[in-house]
Amino acid sequence: MNALTKVILISVFIFIYLPNSILAQAPDTFWTNTFGGVENDYGNAVQLAADGGFIVVGFTESFGAGFSDVWLIKTDQYGNEEWNKTFGGNSSDRGYAVQRSGNDGYVIVGRTRPLGVGDSYVWLIKTDNNGNEVWNKTYGDSSEQSGFSVQQTFDGGYIITGYHLWILEGSSDVLLIKTDESGNEIWYNTLGGVSSQRGNSVQQTPDEGYIIAGITYSSNTISDDVLLLKTDQNGNEIWRKTFGGSLWDGGHSVQITTDGGYIIAGYTDYDIFTQERKAWLIKTDENGNEVWNKKFGISYYSRGYFATQTNDGGYILIGNTYNEGFSTDILLVKTDETGNEVWNKTIGGTLSEWGYSVQQTLDGGYIMTGRTESFGAGEDDVWLIKLEPDSTVNVNGKTILLDFQLEQNYPNPFNPTTTIKYQIPEVSFVTIKVYDVLGNEIATLVNEQKPADSYEVEFDASGLPSGIYFYRIQASSFVETKKMVLMK
Q: 325 and 227 in one domain? A: yes
| CA end-to-end distance (rounded Å), the chain | 85
Q: What is the pLDDT of residue 19?
A: 38
Query: Residue 295: is its pLDDT beyond 90?
Result: yes
Q: 283 and 166 in one domain? A: yes
Q: 214 and 176 in one domain? A: yes
Mean pLDDT over residues 292-318, rounded?
A: 91
Q: What is the pLDDT of residue 252?
A: 97
454 belongs to a structural domain: yes
Between CA 271 and CA 273 the distance in angstroms is 5
Q: What is the pLDDT of residue 59?
A: 97
Q: What is the pLDDT of residue 17?
A: 35
Query: Residue 20: is its pLDDT beyond 50?
Result: no
We report the CATH number of the domain holding residue 445 as: 2.60.40.1930
Query: Residue 11: is its pLDDT beyond 50?
Result: no
Comparing 401 with 115, the larger pLDDT belongs to 115
23 belongs to a structural domain: no
Confidence grade of residue 8 (pLDDT, cut at 50, 70, 90): very low
Comparing 118 with 72, the larger pLDDT belongs to 72
Domain count, the chain: 2
Residue 483 near residue 476, CB atoms below 8 Å: no
Between CA 250 and CA 305 the distance in angstroms is 10
Q: What is the pLDDT of residue 196?
A: 87
Q: Residues 6 or more apart from 162 whose CB is under 8 A from it?
A: 109, 111, 122, 145, 146, 147, 148, 149, 175, 198, 199
We report the CATH number of the domain holding residue 117 as: 2.120.10.30
15 belongs to a structural domain: no
Q: What is the pLDDT of residue 449?
A: 87
> Which residues are registered as beta bridge partners of 481?
472
Q: What is the pLDDT of residue 21?
A: 43
**Using CB atoms within 10 A of its CB, is residue 152 exposed (0-12), middle (13-18) or buried (19+)?**
buried
Q: 313 and 240 in one domain? A: yes
Q: What is the pLDDT of residue 343?
A: 96
Q: What is the pLDDT of residue 325?
A: 65
Q: 418 and 382 in one domain? A: no
Q: Over the stretch 352-404, which tens digit does the pLDDT of each residue have?
A: 999 999 999 988 899 999 999 999 998 899 999 999 998 776 544 444 556 78
Between CA 432 and CA 447 the distance in angstroms is 7
Confidence grade of residue 119 (pLDDT, cut at 50, 70, 90): confident
394 belongs to a structural domain: no
Q: What is the pLDDT of residue 107?
A: 97
Q: Over the stretch 471-482, which tens digit does the pLDDT of each residue have?
A: 999 988 788 999
Query: Residue 405: is its pLDDT beyond 50?
Result: yes
Where is the domain boundary, 387, 420, 435? Answer: 387
Please provide the average confidence, as pLDDT, over all residues in the chain: 88
Print the domain residue range for 302.
28-387
14 belongs to a structural domain: no
Q: What is the pLDDT of residue 3?
A: 41
Q: 251 and 116 in one domain? A: yes
Q: 358 and 294 in one domain? A: yes
Q: 443 and 344 in one domain? A: no
Radius of gyration of the chain (CA): 24
Q: 316 and 288 in one domain? A: yes
Mean pLDDT over residues 139-145, rounded?
A: 87
- Residue 234, phi then psi, degrees to nearest 5: -100, 10
Q: 173 and 58 in one domain? A: yes
18 belongs to a structural domain: no
Q: Over the stretch 178-227, which tens digit does the pLDDT of each residue have?
A: 999 999 999 999 998 777 899 999 999 989 999 999 999 754 556 789 99
Cis previous bond, 416, omega within 30 = yes
Q: What is the pLDDT of residue 392?
A: 73
Q: 333 and 187 in one domain? A: yes
Q: What is the pLDDT of residue 4?
A: 37
13 belongs to a structural domain: no
Exposure b/e, 477-488, CB count within 10 A at least 16 = b: bbbeeeebebee
Sheet holding 353-360, edge to edge: 29-35, 381-387, 366-372, 353-360
Q: Over the stretch 221-263, which tens digit does the pLDDT of each residue have?
A: 567 899 999 999 999 999 999 998 878 899 999 999 999 999 9
Kindly state the percentage of the chain with pLDDT values over 70. 90
Q: Over the stretch 28-49, which tens digit does the pLDDT of each residue have?
A: 999 999 999 999 999 999 999 9
284 belongs to a structural domain: yes
Comparing 21 with 484, the larger pLDDT belongs to 484
Where is the domain boundary, 361, 387, 413? Answer: 387
pTM: 0.83
Confidence grade of residue 139 (pLDDT, cut at 50, 70, 90): very high
Angle, vertex CA 323, rays to CA 266 and CA 371, nearest 5: 60
Comparing 9 with 125, the larger pLDDT belongs to 125
Confidence grade of residue 277 (pLDDT, cut at 50, 70, 90): confident
**72 alpha-carbon distance from chain centroid:** 17
Query: Residue 18: is its pLDDT beyond 50?
Result: no
Confidence grade of residue 116 (pLDDT, cut at 50, 70, 90): low
Residue 121 near residue 109, CB atoms below 8 Å: no
Q: 268 and 121 in one domain? A: yes
Query: Residue 425: is its pLDDT beyond 90?
Result: no
Where is the domain boundary, 387, 422, 447? Answer: 387
Between CA 352 and CA 372 the distance in angstroms is 6
